[in-house]
């Protein structure tokens, strides 16, 4: 259950960790679709139904600060809630009606991930393949002319846990719509390196080499595949409007008088029974 929510949170972090030299305001929407033989069964899960609901948001960003106003309901927030960060590391998901917040520390999260990686003393990567193809002009996105690119990333992960060897194949495919009409310096951290990183140095270095100077990403589509190379999901992120404007730094602060609260979600257990779980946002990455 938490794994599905964790994936949903990571999607939000793309917007939440925006770093803009000048103040900007942009609106965006996200959407996830499921495919394959298990898609219909997954859609019966109440939690998954919420994850699959299209999401809309409005993002305010300046320097390292960001504020996301949610314009639709989801599994973790409701319409009218917002997320703020002053430094791009500590995020607060706020409920203005209840005056409560959920906290997520990105630095602590990274530390836990690295710690988990170190416990797997025998982990190697091989057969890295990164390829990008220019698909030509693709009309406009939010009024800006865009070109479409197809990015394919594949690699093998080899692990040895105790005396057991495990090999998995990762395949990620992206369609990227970029414009040359917006400078990458407008939002230095909202760029290809942040959106397409895998955490594997030898793979990420190839990705950066392929994407360097490509343009400002207005829309992305990520396709995920299963063990038999079958399409299992597609997640899209699209900017629908973007403007430059000087912003008040107070916009990115956690409002006074708010108290921390646990998250409560409803789903189904392995036997199909309805259950509720409570946990703090940071627990998703433990």
pLDDT by residue for the chain (286 residues), tens only, comes to 444 445 455 555 555 555 455 688 999 998 888 988 888 888 887 777 777 788 899 989 888 888 999 998 887 788 999 999 988 788 899 999 999 998 887 666 555 554 555 554 467 889 999 999 999 999 999 999 999 999 999 999 888 776 778 888 889 899 999 999 887 666 554 544 456 778 788 898 898 888 888 888 899 998 988 878 888 889 899 999 998 888 999 999 999 999 998 766 555 555 666 555 555 555 544 5
Burial of 27 (0-12, 13-18, 19+ CB in 10 A): middle
Task: Give residue 273's pLDDT.
Answer: 62
Task: Give residue 112's pLDDT.
Answer: 52
Close Cβ partners of 117 (under 8 Å, ≥ 6 residues apart): 123
Structure token pair of residue 32: 């996830």
Task: Give residue 99's pLDDT.
Answer: 95
Alpha carbon 42 to chain centroid distance? 20
Task: Give residue 55's pLDDT.
Answer: 87
Task: Give residue 274's pLDDT.
Answer: 59
Task: Give residue 150's pLDDT.
Answer: 96
The Cα–Cα gap between 262 and 109 comes to: 17
- Report the topology of domain 2-285: outer membrane lipoprotein receptor (LolB), chain A (2.50.20)
Task: Give residue 5's pLDDT.
Answer: 47
Q: How many CB atoms lie within 10 A of CB 187?
A: 22
Q: What residues does each domain of the chain span?
A: 2-285
Reported for 184-189, long-range contacts at CB under 8 A and 24+ positions apart, including other chains, are 184/215, 184/216, 185/21, 186/20, 186/21, 186/22, 186/24, 186/216, 186/244, 187/18, 187/19, 187/20, 187/21, 187/24, 187/61, 187/216, 188/19, 188/20, 188/21, 189/17, 189/18, 189/19, 189/88
Q: What is the pTM of this model?
A: 0.74
Task: Give residue 197's pLDDT.
Answer: 77
Task: Give residue 96's pLDDT.
Answer: 95
Task: Give residue 256's pLDDT.
Answer: 94
Beta-bridge mates of residue 45: none
The Cα–Cα gap between 252 and 103 comes to: 14
């Amino acid at each position: 259950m938490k794994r599905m929510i964790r994936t949903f949170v990571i999607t939000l972090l793309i917007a939440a960790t925006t770093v803009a030299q000048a103040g900007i305001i942009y609106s965006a929407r996200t959407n996830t679709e499921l495919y394959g033989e298990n898609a219909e069964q997954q859609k019966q899960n109440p939690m998954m139904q919420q994850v699959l609901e299209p999401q809309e948001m409005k993002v305010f960003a300046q320097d390292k600060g960001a504020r996301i106003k949610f314009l639709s309901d989801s599994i973790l927030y409701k319409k009218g809630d917002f997320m703020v960060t002053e430094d791009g590391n500590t995020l607060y998901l706020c409920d203005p009606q209840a005056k409560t917040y959920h906290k997520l520390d990105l630095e602590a999260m990274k530390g836990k991930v690295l710690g988990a990686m170190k416990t797997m003393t025998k982990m190697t990567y091989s057969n890295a393949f990164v390829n990008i193809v220019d698909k030509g002009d693709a009309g406009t996105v939010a009024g800006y002319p865009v070109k479409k690119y197809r990015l394919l990333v594949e690699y093998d992960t080899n692990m040895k846990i105790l005396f057991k060897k495990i090999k998995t194949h990762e395949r990620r495919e992206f369609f990227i719509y970029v414009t040359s009409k917006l400078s990458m310096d407008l939002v230095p951290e909202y760029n290809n390196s942040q959106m397409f990183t895998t955490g594997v140095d030898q793979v990420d270095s190839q990705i950066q080499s392929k994407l360097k100077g490509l343009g400002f990403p207005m829309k992305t589509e990520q396709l995920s595949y299963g063990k038999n190379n079958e399409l299992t999901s597609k997640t899209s992120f699209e900017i629908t409007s973007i403007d430059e404007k000087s912003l008040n730094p107070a916009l990115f602060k956690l409002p006074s008088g708010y108290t921390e609260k646990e998250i409560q979600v409803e789903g189904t257990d392995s036997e199909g029974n309805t259950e509720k779980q409570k946990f703090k946002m940071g627990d998703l990455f433990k």
